[in-house]
Amino acid sequence: MNLTLRVWRQKNARTPGKLVTYKVNNISPDMSFLEMIDVVNEDLTLKGEDPIAFDHDCREGICGMCSMYINGRAHGPEKGTTTCQLHMRKFQDGQTITIEPWRANAFPVHKDLSVDRSALDRIQQAGGYISVNTGGVPDANEIPIPKDIADKAFDAATCIQCGACVAACKNASAMLFVSAKVSQLALLPQGKVERKTRVENMLAQHDAEGFGACSNIGSCAAECPVGISLENIAMLNREYLGAKLTSENVG
């Protein structure tokens, strides 16, 4: 395949960026999208030009590190797929592909396609956990959890923290991300004790980081590579209302 790439190049957060065009040839349809960029980077390096910086690590769709806006879509055109699992066979010979970083105020650009997503970690630190020390816990089968509840909690727990939901949202909201953790832990008996403070603290941190509010458009869920459902946002809203409107230990 022969392709024209338009790639966002930006030296660092303080320097303005711009789209730069590269012609690339002999791309195999079996390559992953990131392997295609590897090939481009090898050529750039040999020519003495700075290779394109991008985030990636596991290359098997689970670590959540890869992040790119491809032709106006988070992680590219294929539904339910991270960039590292996107393959060139999904593109056409001769196509022009525009590649940009995630864009959100809460995600400053490090360089080229690499952005700072540490805000998401700080939201987790605000309460995305169950307060239990190591040791001294009950036997794992002591508290049975109905299969459908465990499955639902699992569905929410699959979030990989890639930030596509933020990138896809016109408000740059991270609600889908927050809702996934809140739902997972609120569903499980072990997580119920702290559910009120958890949702309040995580949402407060979400706002403090500069993410926008949710306006129920749903592009976050549409672009989520692991299929986190909008139902989690509904649950988040219920949890938040419950925390605000009920007294301790009720509801």
Q: Could you give the C-alpha distances from 153 to 84, 98, 146, 173, 193, in angstroms and in order?
A: 26, 36, 11, 22, 16
Number of helical (H) and strand (E) elements in the chain, helices listed first = 8, 7
Please report whether residue 96 would count as binding other proteins according to CB under 8 A: no
By CB under 8 A, tell whether 139 contacts other proteins: yes
CA proximity to 241, closest of 180, 189, 176, 195: 195
Residue 129 binds other proteins, judged by CB under 8 A: yes
3-state secondary structure of 49: coil
Residues of this chain, 47-76, that bind other proteins according to CB under 8 A: 48-51, 53, 55-65
Taking contact as CB under 8 A, which single stretch among the options 17-25, 185-193, 228-236, 241-249 is the one that binds other proteins? 185-193
Site for other proteins in 140-179 (CB under 8 A): 140-141, 143-147, 150-151, 153-154, 157-158, 160-161
Site map for other proteins, 208-237, x if CB under 8 A? ------------------------------
Whether 78 and 89 have beta carbons less than 8 Å apart is answered as no
Which three-class secondary structure string do you get for 33-48? HHHHHHHHHHHHHHHC
Q: Which stretch binds other proteins (CB under 8 A): 36-44, 95-103, 166-174, 206-214?
A: 36-44
Taking the complex as a whole, how short is the minimal distance between the CB of residue 221 and other proteins, in angstroms?
18
Residue 184 binds to other proteins (criterion: CB under 8 A): yes
Please tell me whether residue 233 adopts helix, strand or coil conformation: helix
